[in-house]
Amino acid sequence: MDYSEDTIEWQVIGSTQQENSFNYSEQLNEILKKLNIKRLDHSQFRQRDYLGRGAYAEVYSGLYQEKEYAFKCLKDKLRLEDKKVKKFFKYMSRELELLSEVNHPNVVEFYGILQNPNTDNITFVLQLANDGNLRDYLKKKRQNGIFKILWSELIQIAKDLTHGLEHLHSKKIIHRDLHSKNVLIDRGKALITDFGLSKHLNNSLSSEVGGMLAYREPQSFKPIKYARDEKSDIYSLGVLFWELTSGNPPFSNYANDLAMAIEISRGGREKMIPDTPPNYASLYRNCWSDEPGQRPTLNEILDELKILSEETIEFFTNDFNNGAEVQRDESDEFSEQFSELFLSELDRPNDPITCEERQTFLIQNLENMKIKIRFDYSKFSEVQEIGYGGFSTVYSASFQGKKYALKSLKKSLYAYDESFFKQIRREINLLYQTNHSNIIKLYGFSIDSHSNFMTVMQLANDGDLRVYLRRKKIGDLYKIHWNEILTIAKGITYGINYLHNNNIIHRDLNSKNILIDHGRALISDFGVSKNLNSTISSTSMYGMVAYFDPHCIKHGIKKNKASDIYSFGVILWELTSGAPPFEDEPIHKIITEITSNGMREMPIDNTPVDYINLYCECWSDDPNNRPTLESILNKLENLSGVSAEFIENNFKIKSIKKKY
């Protein structure tokens, strides 16, 4: 459950769209008018096949005036109040502006927009690439563990990419997000697409993190100031050149993006595929050079590709049977922290199973677990939306005089994504197993009038811990009673202790997954938790980076009970700060600071020394030095005798992070 401050909107369901959601058509109309973008007749649009989705759009193939196009349809209920949606509008307006400027055979063509007269929803009309994205296209060339591609085709795709990039750079545009899912293939021709992260070179550029990390230059992951430019795209191009010989995405054997980012920042690159022509290998290695100044120009790349096209090679192959292939967990891309990096990324469904089939299976699964309490949705009253996120919407509601939280899951997600569907089942299964006063309670499920599946859960009246602490900030001063800190800390400790005693690790403890109900802490959100008796994958990217155990990242090991202790230590610090750890720091800097440099947040002034020592022990780099939960409880009990009345943090005084 996510009662984020950014997404909470107290609204009565049934009110008009103007009252309960941002009608983004007004914002878009200003952009369209400014850019003089062509409006097409919506009545002549016929939707056909689903192709994929992103955080804020779904893509279909279809017909317009009996010709085939790709249609990028923006989703309903985009809220201007949501910071992520504001960022989305920034990306979308940038993409529209750049699409309207470019015109090249190797850049996807933009024809205009459609606007639904009933909903005002906007749809981009784009060139349809019949062979899908480059990643999927290369996967189709694998049979019986062997990837095989015509050398002439490989070189032609490499040339197309270089020509497309050359056109963008001639328009003073850098793409900044070039990877194999943002390259489409149409009858063998490569098309560069997705300009959500692109920028004009004459605009102010920053080192803003975005795009798939495996294609990002190492400067992105280092605590230095730099601006992405043409050489950044050259680096990504080099990675794509390697992928054309591999048939597999780069660093696909890495369990998580954090470990991969550290590897790239330290100079790690993919190994050359056996039998790659030396000059081709030298070309992509020069492109992904650690030093931007050593990367070749696009003209130099085209000259080299012309020479390489004359190689007397018919096919290039990569035999995956020569070594075990470890696939990276694709579900990592759904983590909250990195969702903004992949706003425009589309994931094709792996199977054609329908929403209704998945939902039926989910209900059967609940009944098999003996969760048979099905609430009659028609008997709920006072239904109000209190949280809105990418995966679900949360409501408060009354049933027979008692208040509950209803978590409505988005059918489109669990219909098209197996990993998300497994998360739902896992969370329900674990919640049903638990029964503790500091763990959120699951009471049953319900199906609303639109056939949406809902879990019926305990309502936490004070929202999540992050929001709860922010409410204690008046002006620049955060102030909290010392006894309240201890009460919340003890409650979380009791909850973790209960989980660990039942062989459950949470794996995603942070201040948004702790709810407060009349001052009592409740641990929630078990979507990424696992029972220790079940198989646990290698470290995943789930969880907020600043709460993530650096030992797991650095050594590529599984999360365990000690990982929960680390995260809890960060929360203990946050209780005294009133702000999340490393707030407003870019993700790449957090990664470097907590893993390579051993950085932690500085203690807040006047915090009792024994409390500081406790959270420093919890977030120790060495898991063996972290205290047991029994020891933590004892120390918290002893801290009850401290004479402090309030803890205050003045946000006017900037703290400096250091190795503490």
139 is in an annotated binding site: no
Q: What is the pLDDT of residue 83?
A: 57
Is a pLDDT exceeding 80 seen at residue 252? yes
Element (H, E) at 319: strand 315-319
Listed range (81-85, 196-200, 225-229, 621-625) with the worst mean pLDDT: 196-200
Look at strands 11-12 and 453-457 and give their pairing: unpaired
Q: What is the pLDDT of residue 325?
A: 39
Is a pLDDT exceeding 80 seen at residue 201? no
DSSP 480: E
Q: What is the pLDDT of residue 370?
A: 55
Is a pLDDT exceeding 70 seen at residue 146? yes
The residues, ordered by sequence, that sit 6+ positions from 583 with a Cβ below 8 Å of its Cβ are none
Is a pLDDT exceeding 50 seen at residue 1? no
| 160 in active site | no
The more confident residue out of 534 and 53 is 53
The more confident residue out of 638 and 33 is 638
C-alpha angle with apex 157: 153 to 162, nearest 5 degrees?
145
pLDDT in tens, 616-640: 999 999 999 999 999 999 999 999 8
Task: Read off the pLDDT band of 14 (50, 70, 90).
Answer: very low
Q: What is the pLDDT of residue 176?
A: 86
Walk me through the domains of the chain, giving residue ranges and CATH numbers: 14-126 (3.30.200.20), 134-342 (1.10.510.10), 355-457 (3.30.200.20), 465-650 (1.10.510.10)
Listed range (34-38, 197-201, 482-486, 580-584) with the worst mean pLDDT: 197-201
Is a pLDDT exceeding 70 seen at residue 295? yes
Is a pLDDT exceeding 50 seen at residue 218? yes
Q: What is the pLDDT of residue 84?
A: 58
Buried b (16+ CB within 10 A) or exposed e, 63-75: ebeeeebbbbbbb
Is a pLDDT exceeding 70 seen at residue 75? no
Task: Read off the pLDDT band of 42 (50, 70, 90).
Answer: confident
Q: What is the mean pLDDT of residues 421-449?
A: 81
Q: What is the mean pLDDT of residues 64-89?
A: 70
Is a pLDDT exceeding 80 seen at residue 119? no
- Give the active site residue among 257, 508, 525, 549: 508
Q: What is the pLDDT of residue 86?
A: 65
pLDDT in tens, 556-589: 677 789 999 999 999 999 999 999 998 877 776 7
The secondary structure of 608-619, three-state, reads: CHHHHHHHHHHC
Whether 538 contacts 610, CB under 8 Å: no
Is a pLDDT exceeding 90 seen at residue 206? no
Percentage with pLDDT > 70 across the chain: 74
Is a pLDDT exceeding 90 seen at residue 45? no
Q: What is the mean pLDDT of residues 437-452?
A: 86
* CA-to-CA separations, 85 to 4, 24, 55, in angstroms, rounded: 14, 10, 10
Cα gap 314→560, rounded to integer Å = 50
Q: What is the pLDDT of residue 25?
A: 59
pLDDT in tens, 176-185: 889 999 999 9
Is a pLDDT exceeding 80 seen at residue 603? yes
Listed range (55-59, 145-149, 629-633) with the worst mean pLDDT: 55-59
Q: Which residue has the tokens 């994931």?
A: 347
* CA-to-CA separations, 653 to 10, 406, 478, 601, in angstroms, rounded: 34, 41, 12, 14
The more confident residue out of 91 and 38 is 38
Task: Read off the pLDDT band of 348 (50, 70, 90).
Answer: very low
Is a pLDDT exceeding 60 seen at residue 112? yes
Q: What is the pLDDT of residue 122?
A: 79
Listed range (189-193, 198-202, 378-382, 453-457) with the worst mean pLDDT: 198-202
Is a pLDDT exceeding 60 seen at residue 657? no
Among candidate residues 202, 206, 178, the one with its CA nearest the CA of residue 192: 178
Please name the residue ranges forming H helices in 79-147. 83-99, 134-139
Listed range (92-96, 316-320, 646-650) with the worst mean pLDDT: 92-96
* CA-to-CA separations, 656 to 334, 603, 604, in angstroms, rounded: 31, 10, 11
225 is in an annotated binding site: no
Q: Is the dihedral of CA 46, 48, 53, 59 positive or negative?
A: negative
The more confident residue out of 408 and 602 is 602
Is a pLDDT exceeding 90 seen at residue 247? yes
- Residue 133 has, within 13 A of its CA and on its CB side, a CA count of 20
Q: What is the pLDDT of residue 585?
A: 77
Three-class SS of residue 653? coil
Cα gap 632→615, rounded to integer Å = 9
The residues, ordered by sequence, that sit 6+ positions from 238 with a Cβ below 8 Å of its Cβ are 283, 284, 285, 286, 287, 288, 295
Is a pLDDT exceeding 70 seen at residue 414? no
Q: Which residue has the tokens 């430019």?
A: 229
